[in-house]
């Protein structure tokens, strides 16, 4: 509580010009962070170029808290690739490995995924009546990892 009151007290003692300078600096920092994030989205072709592993389903490849760098690209998905996907109706992305690739006659590709530390594939995680993931579900492929 002392930190809050000290901060309020220091803001009150600032002159208007100093306060305006602090607000502008904060705005520049926030704007720069957003610009970097949006640039990464354009470069990686991914709506979320960086994700954090939240569960132990991919151990020993990835631990909880690992940071993954994603890239989507236009190349076909292959068995063994690690992808990050979202299921309709769920907000949290899932990091799992592609175990099967199903190419259709029209050129579209569906994939089946599974966590390395799981006993069964992910069909139980998918939406009801969904047997495969397609490109609209996949956020990106893991191309790098930072372990903390």
Neighbours of 70 (CB within 10 A): 26
Q: Is 117 helix (H, G, I), strand (E, B) or coil?
A: coil
Q: Which residues are catalytic?
A: 57, 96, 122
SS3 assignment for 4-40: HHHHHHHHHHCCHHHHHHHHHHHHHHHHHHHHHHHHH
């Amino acid at each position: 509580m002392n930190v809050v009151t000290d901060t309020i007290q220091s803001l009150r003692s600032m002159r208007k010009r100093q306060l305006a300078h602090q607000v502008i600096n904060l705005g520049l920092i926030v704007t720069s962070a957003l610009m970097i994030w949006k640039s990464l989205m354009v470069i990686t072709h991914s709506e979320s170029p960086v994700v954090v592993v939240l569960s132990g389903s991919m151990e020993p490849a990835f631990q909880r808290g690992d940071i993954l760098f994603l890239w989507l690209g236009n190349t076909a998905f292959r068995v063994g690739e690690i992808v990050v996907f979202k299921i309709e109706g769920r907000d949290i992305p899932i990091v799992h490995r592609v175990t099967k690739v199903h190419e259709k006659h029209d050129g579209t590709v569906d994939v089946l995924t599974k966590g390395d530390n799981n006993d069964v594939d992910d069909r139980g995680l998918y939406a009801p009546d969904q047997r495969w993931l397609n490109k609209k579900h996949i956020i990106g492929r893991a191309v790098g990892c930072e372990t903390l």
